[in-house]
Structure 1
């Protein structure tokens, strides 16, 4: 072979390539299946945590609204279970009329006790309150606490000590 001859260059030819073989395709499908099997349980946990976080944020917003409405109306606002059941959500009432509702999405539950914000924004009986948000499958739990002065806070744990 003459090194000076330019006609003998290495050329890539795709003429013999007709696509993927069945074995190559089966390997790709198997790898995709293994990756999906690993990702799906993690995605379920992500959805569950996101649902509880969104519900917690909705509850914090509703309680802050109740306190604000009590102060702006100059009258008490009651925080009660929606339709008498915490599992359905929370309802805010002023003089018996509903002013706001926050319902729970499927798979999430509330628990707690009803209470009232006084016109100055404090909890009526002078004690702190705690509402708990629980994932239906028991994998997650958040709580929203209301101080005797009416300050609303959330935490990534249940209502216990």
Structure 2
């Protein structure tokens, strides 16, 4: 019985905490992982912002086309603020404002031109919107054909 007690007290004595060397190794590993992850995380966030902006434009254009078909009248898509496409898009039918999209957020640049859909769903012309972030990542281009078809593709923003 005495032998069993002494082995328990030896095991208990060594399980009191971490040594300074062990703690420094863990801190070093966390620092290395953070140094690798932070730049990739920024790139991920920037990509998501570009994708969200692209999706917002595509859904607004699809809504405008469907409203033109539903009402059988011309529906226009313009910048919410004069020429500032990143501030959101406005969909209107005549003087009736149908929908306004949310602003894209800081660091997102959008270029484009006004567009209208006829009552039969066809666009009045070809329109192109370019969505770029603040980094050197590829952007997206949303184009609308005269047939009203909305397409997206990846583009270089460094041009």
State the TM-score, normalizing by the size of structure 1.
Answer: 0.84
- Corresponding residue for 2:32? 34
Alignment correspondent of 1:94: 93
State yes or no: 1:155 paired with 2:153: yes
Q: C-alpha distance in 1, partners of 2:98/2:118? A: 15
1:130 to 123, 128, 131: 128
Question: Does the 8 Å contact 2:46/2:135 carry over to 1?
Answer: no
Quote the residue 2:110 is aligned against.
110
Give the alignment of 1:43-54 within 5 angstroms.
43-54=41-52
Shift of 1:83: 1.5
Tell me what 1:4 maps to. Answer: none
Stretch moving more, 50-59 or 36-45: 50-59
Deviation at 1:158, TM superposition (A): 5.4
Give how far 1:139 is off: 2.2
Helix, strand or coil: the match of 1:86?
strand
Structure 1 stretches of at least 4 aligned residues deviating more than 6 Å after TM superposition: none
Give the number of aligned pairs.
Answer: 149
Deviation readout 1:65-112 (Å, 9 max, x if unpaired): 000001111111111111112131211111122211122122212101
Partner SS state of residue 80, structure 1: strand
Mean CA deviation greater in 26-35 or 130-139? 130-139
Q: TM-score, normalised by structure 2?
A: 0.85
Match of 1:15 in 2: 12
Structure of greater Rg: 1
Are the equivalent residues in 2 in contact too, given 1:88–1:109 (CA < 8 A)?
no
Higher deviation after alignment, 88-97 or 57-66: 88-97
Q: Which runs of 5+ in 1 are unaligned?
A: 1-6
Task: Give the root-mean-square deviation of aligned CA atoms.
Answer: 2.0
Q: C-alpha displacement at 1:36, in angstroms? A: 0.6
CA gap 1:114/1:158 in 2 versus in 1, 3 angstroms: farther
SS at match of 1:39: helix
Q: Is the 8 A contact 2:54 2:140 kept in 1?
A: yes
